[in-house]
Structure 1
Amino acid sequence: MKFYNRLIFTSLLLTAIVSCKSQQKALITDGSKLVQVANNFSFTEGPASDKNGNVYFTDQPNNKILKWNQADNSINTFMESSGRANGLYFDNNENLLAAADDKNELWRIHKSGEIDTLIADFEGRKLNGPNDLWVDLKGGIYFTDPYYQREYWTRTEADIKEKNVYYISPDLKNISIVAKGLTQPNGIIGTPDGKILYVADIGDKKTYSYSIQKDGTLSDRKLFTDIGSDGMTIDNLGNIYLTGEGVTIFNSKGERLKNIPINENWTANVTFGGKNQDVLFITAMGSVYTLQMNVHGVRY
C-alpha cells in the first residue's frame, strides 16, 4: 500500500514538473530568438504599444521619444524635446501619456503633437519625478513617483520626502496618494479587469499586489515576490513580467516561470507590441529587442 501511494505521489510530481516545463515552453514561440532591433541609443525606457501594435519608447538622455513600426521593423523619431520622458502609456483615447522627468510633470501628447500638462505638483509641492504609469478602465491614471537625482535638475533634494504611488481621477480633477511606505516605487501594471495593481519597489527589492477599489483607492497589499523591477507588463494569462537582470516571468501566484536573459548590463522595461500584441518588446541600455511569443499583451 505504501509503495502504491509512493507511486501515485511520484506520478503526480512528474506530471506537475512536466506541466510546469510545458507552461514555460508555451510562453515563447518554438524556434523564436531574441532579435536586437537597434543599439544606437543612450538609454532606452518606457515602451508603450498603440492600438496598431507600434511601440513608442524613450531615449531619455537624448530627450527623445522613438517609434518602432511593427509593419516593417523600422524605428523613427516621434518627438524631439520630449520633456526627458521616462515611462509612457496610452490612455483610453489613444493619446500618449508621458512621465516627463525634466520638470517632474505628467504629459498628455495628442496625435496632433499638442501637449497638455496634466500635473506638475501635489498640494503645492513639486513631484519627485513621475517614473512609470498605468491607466485603468475608467481612464484614471496611476503613477509611481520615486526620486532619482538628475544632472539636469537645479534642485538637489525632494520637496516630498515620501516616495508614493498616486492616482489621478478619470476626470483629471483630483489626485490622491494611494500607496505609501515604499522605498523607491518604480514599475507598475494592472490587470485588464481592473481588479489588481502590481507595484515594484525597486529600492526594497520587492514587488507588491494591491486590490483596486471602485473609487480607485488601493487595499490589501500583499508581497508578490522578493525581487523588485524597473518596468513591468502583463500577458493574457495573467503572467507578470519584471525587468532588471533580463526579463523574469511570474504567474499570478508569484511563482517564477522563466527568465529571458538579455546580454546587457540592465534591462529597463518591457511591453507587448506587434499586430497581434504577441511580440515582446524589450528596452535594455542603448538597445531595443523583440521576441516572438505564444502569449499576447492585453489592451482595453
Structure 2
Amino acid sequence: MKIAAAFLLLAALQANAQSDSTHLLVADGAKPVLVSKQFKFTEGPAPDRKGNIYFTDQPNNTIWKYDTKGKLSLFTDQSGRANGLYVDKKGNILACADADNQLWSFSPKGKHTVLVDNFEGRKLNGPNDLWIHPNGDIYFTDPYYQRNYWTRQKPEIEGMKVYCLPAGAKAPVVVADDIVKPNGIVGTPDGKYLYVADIGGDKIYRYDILPGNQLSNRMLFTNKGGDGITLDERGNLYLCGNGVFIYNPQGQQIGHIDVPEKWTANACFGGKKRNILFLTASTAIYTVEMKVKGAE
C-alpha cells in the first residue's frame, strides 16, 4: 500500500507540474494587455512576414491591421464579412469571406479577388478558418453557422467538412468528412501534420498530410474542442475559447491563459520577434508577451 500510495502521489505531482507550466511559456509577470475595445466581434488574426497582424471584425465587415509598433489601422471596410485570415508568402491576405461563402485574396493594397466561389455548384456552408501549406495548398474548414445577413435558412451541402484548394487549382476538394463541426485549423511548419478543432464534437484531431493534399491517420489529439488554434515553436498548441488552453505535442494540457472576456475566438503570434501572442476576444483585442515564438 505504501508503494502504491507513493506512485499515486508522484503521479499527482507530475500532473500538477504539467498543468502549471504557463509560467514557462508566458513572459515573467505578463498578463493579457488590452489594446482596444471598439469592435463587435473580433476574429481571424494572422501575421505577415514582418510580424504585423491582420484581424477581422466580422459583424462590421472590416479587416484591421495592428503593426509591430502597436499602431492600429483599418485595412478594409469591405471584407466580405471575413472570418479567418492567413497571409501568404507574397503578402496577400486570404480570407474566409462569409457574406457569400467564398474564399477571397486581398492584395497588400486591399484589392480582392475570389479564389473559391462554390463546391460542385453548391454554396459552401461558410468558410471559417484556413491554413496554407508550405507548397501553397490552402486547407480550410467549412462549418455552418446561420448568419442574419443570409437569405438562405439551411445549408446546400450535407455535412460540415474540411477542404483543400490545391496550389494553382480553381476548385476545392474534400479532405476530411469525419468531423462533427470543424472550426480552427493549423498545420506544422514542415507541412507534415494538420490540426483541426472540432467544436461540435468537443475534440481536436491531428492528421498526417500526404502528397497530393490528402489527409490520413486521424489521431485524437485531445478531448476538448474550441475555436481558433495556433502553434508555438516548441510544438505546443494553443486552443481558444474560455481563455486560451495550452497543450504540449502529446496532447496534455500544460497551461491556461485567463482572458477577461466572455469568449476568446482566436490567437496568433506576431511582433518583430514573433513572441507576442495576439488575442481576438469578443469586442476586444489583447496582447501577451511570451517566452516562446510562434511556429507559423
Query: TM-score w.r.t. structure 1 length?
Result: 0.93
Report the equivalent of 2:194: 197
Report the equivalent of 1:37: 35
The residue identity in structure 2 corresponding to 1:63 is: N
Deviations 1:33-56 (A, max 9, x none): 210101111000000001111110
Deviations 1:221-278 (A, max 9, x none): 1111111111110000000000111000001110001111111111100000110110
Distance 1:26 1:103, change over 3 A: same
Q: 2:177 aligns to what SS in structure 1?
A: strand
Report the equivalent of 1:80: 77
Task: Return the alpha-carbon distance in structure 1 between the equivalents of residues 19 and 237 of structure 2.
Answer: 17
Of the three residues 250, 253, 256, the one matched with 1:253 is 250
Report the equivalent of 2:273: 276
- Where do 5+ consecutive residues of structure 1 fail to align? none
Report the equivalent of 2:25: 27
The residue identity in structure 1 corresponding to 2:155 is: A
Displacement of 1:9? 6.6
Query: In 1, are the aligned partners of 2:207 and 2:219 still within 8 Å (CA)?
Result: yes
Q: Within the alignment, does 1:229 sit opposite 2:226 as a pair? A: yes
Q: CA RMSD in A?
A: 2.1
Query: TM-score w.r.t. structure 2 length?
Result: 0.94
The residue identity in structure 1 corresponding to 2:280 is: T
Displacement of 1:23? 4.4
Task: Return the alpha-carbon distance in structure 1 between the equivalents of residues 140 and 257 of structure 2.
Answer: 26
Report the equivalent of 2:179: 182
Report the equivalent of 2:159: 162
Distance 1:10 1:147, change over 3 A: closer
Distance 1:80 1:240, change over 3 A: same
Task: Return the alpha-carbon distance in structure 1 between the equivalents of residues 174 and 110 of structure 2.
Answer: 30
Residues matched between the structures, number: 296
Task: Return the alpha-carbon distance in structure 2 between the equivalents of residues 109 and 56 of structure 1.
Answer: 12
More divergent stretch after superposition (151-160 vs 168-177): 168-177
Task: Return the alpha-carbon distance in structure 1 between the equivalents of residues 172 and 187 of structure 2.
Answer: 18
Q: 2:35 aligns to what SS in structure 1?
A: strand
Task: Return the alpha-carbon distance in structure 2 between the equivalents of residues 219 and 20 of structure 1.
Answer: 29
Displacement of 1:173? 3.4
Equivalent residue runs for 1:54-65 within 5 Å: 54-65=52-63
Identity percentage of aligned residues: 48
Task: Return the alpha-carbon distance in structure 1 between the equivalents of residues 106 and 17 of structure 2.
Answer: 44
Displacement of 1:24? 3.3
Displacement of 1:18? 8.6
Of the three residues 209, 212, 216, the one matched with 1:215 is 212
Query: In 2, are the aligned partners of 1:118 and 1:172 still within 8 Å (CA)?
Result: no
Deviations 1:38-78 (A, max 9, x none): 1111000000001111110000111000111121x121100
Distance 1:60 1:11, change over 3 A: closer
Displacement of 1:92? 2.4
The residue identity in structure 1 corresponding to 2:77 is: E
Displacement of 1:181? 2.4
Task: Return the alpha-carbon distance in structure 2 between the equivalents of residues 237 and 103 of structure 1.
Answer: 37
